[in-house]
Structure formats: structure tokens, C-alpha cells
Amino acid sequence: MPKPIIIYALGEGWGHLNRAIALGRVAARQYPVIILTNSPYAGAIAVTLASSPSPFSLELRQLPQTSLQARQYWIQQQCQQPAIGLIVDTFPRGLTGELTTILPRLSIPKILVHRDLNPHYIKVKQADIWAAQYDPILIPGEGNDLPFACFPQTIHTPPWLVRNCQELLPIHLASSRLKVTRTSPLAIVCATGKTSEQAFFGRITKHLAASLPPYQVRCLASNCPPECPPSLWFSHYPALDYLQLASAVISGGGYNIVHECRLLGVPLLAFPFERSYDRQALRIQKFAHHLKTESEAVTRVQRRVTYPFSPDTPPEYINGVDQAWESIKRSFNP
């Protein structure tokens, strides 16, 4: 059995874990892949991954719920085990700085996945100094105005999605499972982000359903959000299978949902949630439509969802993970 690839994907919500899985599925064709995560959604996703055959394993390892010092030690031990390479998502020094003591000593290739980062964080933590230790730095579809985009080892790719377009559910099967028809517009509320934000999306779903008949409204979430009518809630991974049916999507401004809708060609109406490191408002400004209030969501959907979105086949798009993997392999075998 060859040495594994270690992917550091710590961070709340879906973004870090989903990018790691998107890349890990491709890498696992050639190497075992271990993903380090603290996402609250990891358990449910692990079940889905277990049902997907692969010549090598794609393993999720959950950060233990112990003291900060113990968690940092666990991460350091995981990242220093014999491996072919270390891929770090977003935080070049680690989420709590735990990588700073081991990066200079690692002789294996180190690859940074560079999603947008708040410049204040970079300045305070001197993250640019640590980013310089990675080669290459991969930017998955976020643009040229990111903090590390000027680094000479930076490589741009299209956004990374967890499935290629050929892998999406057939339209008729996705419609049947979501219990929607293709003759009426469909608005999907995608409850991504932190678990503390789920009640907000539940209220949005309830409000839209009451205000937009005969529009079809569905909520996609790992668990049924508070205040969401249970009959409108569906749990499915990956959400791409159902998002392809939507006339409009209402969600936050996180990496996954923004770029999934962007590549699917589905209008995204997004609320910019506050994050310590991510700038959702900037991403929405570039790639989606900005929402401020719940009531505005109803009026904006009414304005945009004026026809059913009824494709006969899944949309075509280019998934950046294949290009990213080719670049990563070159760093393994210069």
C-alpha cells in the first residue's frame, strides 16, 4: 500500500471539507487519502463516501473534542506521519497556528489551497510568511484579487466541485426524489454554513412557501432546520444533484454554494454571513446576488423566478479538481 496524501481541512461548515473531498476523490484513484476535519457534517458524509467504490481509501478523521493543546498535538502527529504529501486548505499556518512548529521540518511536498482570506487575519498572523513555504499554491476559481495570488508559485484552476457534470443524477430521477414537477418554478433554500444559522434558513423556507404559491419551495439541509416545514425539507449529499433543478437558490455566500450555482448556471440570491476569515460579501459581489433581509428574499425570488428551469440533461461544466490534481502530482514527482 502506498503512502497516503494528508489533507488538512479544518474549519466549520461545508467549505473546507467539501473542497477536500472534491480533490480527494480524484487523488484516491492513485493514492490513499486521509482528510483531517472538524466539520459537524463529517459523519453523514462519511456514510456516503463509504458507498462509493474506489481503488484506494478516502478516509475522514475527525478532530477529537479535547483541550486545545491536545487537539494541536493530534493534528501535528497526523501531519507528520509518513505521507507522500500534505495539502492544507485555506490556513497556511493552521487554524490555530499548530502547523508553524512542523512545516519547516517537513521534507514532503506541501500544497496550499487558497480560498479568499480576510487581509486583517493575514496581517495579524503573518500568514503570508507561511504561505511562501508552499509550492504550489492553488486558487480554485476565486479570482486574481486574493492575498496570495501574486505569489510566483500560484496556479489558478476553475472552481472545485465534488462531482463532475457526468456524475450528477439524471434530471428525471432528481426531480422524483425531490418530489417536484418540471412545470412550475422551483426555489431551493440551501442551509449551508454553521449549525447556528439553520433556524434562519428554516424561517426563510417557511416564508417563501407561504408567499410564493404556486412556486415550489424546498430546503436542503443536513438536518431539518427549526421552523422549516418538515414536508419541504430534504437531506442529500451532494446538493449539486438537486441544485441543477432550481430556478433560483437562496443561501449564504460560502465557497461551495456560490461556485456550485455559478457552474450550474443557476441564479444564487445570497446572504453574506459574518466569518472570522472568509469575506462572503466580496464573493457574493463577484459571483451572486446580494440579499439583506428575509422579506427581500421573497421579492427578489418573485422577480427572478418567472419560469420553470427544466433542463433535459444535467448542465455541462468544467471541474477544476482534475487540473489541480495534475499540478499536485508534478510537485510529488518534479
pLDDT tens digits along 266-285: 999 999 998 888 899 999 99
**In a domain? residue 290:** yes
Cell of 236: 442529500
Q: How confident is the model at residue 176 (pLDDT cuts 50, 70, 90)?
A: very high
- Asked if the model's pLDDT at residue 136 lies above 60, the reply is yes
More confident residue, 312 or 78: 78
Residues 301, 212: contact at Cβ < 8 Å?
yes
The length of the chain, given as a count of residues: 334
38 and 25 in a common domain: yes
157: which DSSP letter?
E
156 and 23 in a common domain: yes
296 and 184 in a common domain: yes
**In a domain? residue 312:** no
Residues 79, 99: contact at Cβ < 8 Å?
yes
323 and 270 in a common domain: no
**In a domain? residue 313:** no
Percent of the chain surpassing pLDDT 90: 72
Domain count, the chain: 2
**In a domain? residue 131:** yes
227 and 152 in a common domain: no
- Which pLDDT belongs to residue 129? 95
What is the tens place of the pLDDT at every residue in 69-105?
A: 999 999 999 999 999 999 999 999 999 999 999 999 9
How confident is the model over 167-184, as a mean pLDDT?
92
**In a domain? residue 310:** no
Euclidean distance between CA atoms 260 and 253, whole angstroms: 11
- Which pLDDT belongs to residue 56? 63
Sign of CA dihedral 121, 124, 125, 126: positive
- Which pLDDT belongs to residue 308? 58
145 and 57 in a common domain: yes
CATH number for the domain that contains residue 258:
3.40.50.2000
325 and 283 in a common domain: no
- Which pLDDT belongs to residue 309? 58
- Asked if the model's pLDDT at residue 55 lies above 60, the reply is no
- Which pLDDT belongs to residue 310? 58
Q: What is the mean pLDDT of the chain?
A: 90
- Asked if the model's pLDDT at residue 137 lies above 90, the reply is yes
146 and 39 in a common domain: yes
- Asked if the model's pLDDT at residue 50 lies above 70, the reply is no
Cell of 167: 456524475
90 and 63 in a common domain: yes
129 and 46 in a common domain: yes
Range of the domain at 128: 5-160+319-332
- Which pLDDT belongs to residue 47? 67
How confident is the model over 155-164, as a mean pLDDT?
95
**In a domain? residue 91:** yes
- Asked if the model's pLDDT at residue 140 lies above 60, the reply is yes
**In a domain? residue 311:** no
Euclidean distance between CA atoms 270 and 253, whole angstroms: 6
148 and 10 in a common domain: yes
What is the tens place of the pLDDT at every residue in 187-231?
A: 999 998 788 889 999 999 999 999 888 789 999 998 999 999 999
- Asked if the model's pLDDT at residue 314 lies above 90, the reply is no
How confident is the model over 27-46, as a mean pLDDT?
87
Q: How confident is the model at residue 152 (pLDDT cuts 50, 70, 90)?
A: very high
**In a domain? residue 76:** yes
Strand partners, 61: 36
- Which pLDDT belongs to residue 297? 86
| Residue 244 neighbours by CB under 8 Å, 6+ apart | 168, 171, 174, 264, 266, 311, 314, 315
Grid cell 427572478 — which residue? 304
More confident residue, 54 or 184: 184
How confident is the model over 99-121, as a mean pLDDT?
94
Residues 288, 270: contact at Cβ < 8 Å?
yes
- Which pLDDT belongs to residue 195? 81
59 and 128 in a common domain: yes
